[in-house]
Structure 1
Amino acid sequence: MKHELTTPDTASKRITRLSSLFVLALGCFFFISCSSGTDKKAESNAGAPAAVAEPVDDGKGIGPVKHVTLSELDPQLAEQGKNLYEGKCSACHRLDGTKVVGPGLAGITDRRSPEWIMNMIINPEEMTKKDPTAKKLLAEHLTQMTNQNVTEQDARAMLEYFRQLDASAN
């Protein structure tokens, strides 16, 4: 059996060669990973759809209510709305112009469309993210309106109650 003697000079040459190979391999790895990442990014963006535009502000808000037909005031529906308001809304909203946690509701039916009012009651989180008016209210009052899990029928009853209050104030 033949034994090779390793001298300090031979060991130094081996380390230098291995270091050079390591640096070269590392450089190739970075070159390949960088260039393939760029290609993948370009490929992934090539088929991407165009950015989705923000919804147009039609004054109706964001939510399930697209159209509300109003007729004469319905006192029975307004009474249901009053009970719902007292149970779900009165802790944060006053019926006059006073701000508590949220804005006062006096004149709300004069300032906002019926659809906007109902969508805000039903869908407050999405409204404050996407509707310009709701965003401004959130910025002004600094508190997110709580989702009270109100149905569309309940929101319609509250709208009728607000209509009744605003009509009696005029």
Structure 2
Amino acid sequence: MNKMILILSIAVGLYACSGNAPKKEATADQTATTTENGNPSYDPERGTGKFTNVTVSPTLDNALATAGQKVYDVKCSSCHKLTEEKLVGPGWKDVTKRHKPEWILNFVTNTDEMLQKDSKAQAMLEICLVRMPNQNLTDEEARNAYEFMRKNDGVK
């Protein structure tokens, strides 16, 4: 009986985290490279998705980081800690040092395809054993969350 309650709780939690807000179009700081069929091409350094060339300032954008913390608090904190410690998903400490901004932004906005095609995303899934739900982040929310990740990694 306890196992059934646990499974039901996890299913409800994953459903609740999935969100259903519409995505915004790509912003000016990214350009898309596509294949013949119109889909973004795959690159192991950036993953798969529309983010191919993200411009990041060497200094932190505090306004974006503050907005990103709100995204984290609502959509990410139930599965990710800001330390190295794994909760459901991996901890966020040094995530911006381990992955390029394009890879992170593609992962959080194109989760399902990244988990299908990207070997780094698949390796994380093997460790965490729980598939990250698509949070339906807009490009703006994703960029804000990335800036909050940078702040968490010590960028000033």
TM-score, normalised with respect to structure 2 = 0.70
Residues 132 and 76 of structure 1: CA distance in aligned 2, closer, same or farther (over 3 Å)? same
Q: For residue 91 of structure 1, report the CA deviation from its aligned partner.
A: 0.4
Q: Shift of residue 139 of structure 1?
A: 1.2
1:62 equivalent to 2:48? Answer yes
Secondary structure, counterpart of 2:144 in structure 1: helix
> Counterparts in 2 of 1:10-159, with a 5 A limit?
55-57=42-44, 59-71=45-57, 72-159=59-146
Residue deviations 1:77-129 (CA, integer Å, cap 9, x gap): 10000000110000000000111111011000000000111111111111110
**CA RMSD, 1 decimal:** 1.6
Unaligned runs of 5+ in 2: 1-40
Q: 1:161 aligns with which of 134, 148, 151?
A: 148
For residues 42 and 137 of structure 2, the distance between their equivalents in structure 1, rounded to whole angstroms, comes to 23
Question: For residues 127 and 143 of structure 1, what CA distance do their matches in structure 2 show?
Answer: 14
SS in 1 for 2:127: helix
Aligned length: 115
Alpha-carbon distance in 1 for matches of 2:131, 2:47? 16
Identity of paired residues, percent? 41
Q: CA deviation at 1:55?
A: 3.5
CA separation in 1, counterparts of 2:129 and 2:135? 18
Which amino acid in 2 is paired with 1:64?
A: K
Q: Moved runs in structure 1, 4+ residues, more than 4 A?
A: none
Greater relative contact order (Cα < 8 A, sep 6+): 2
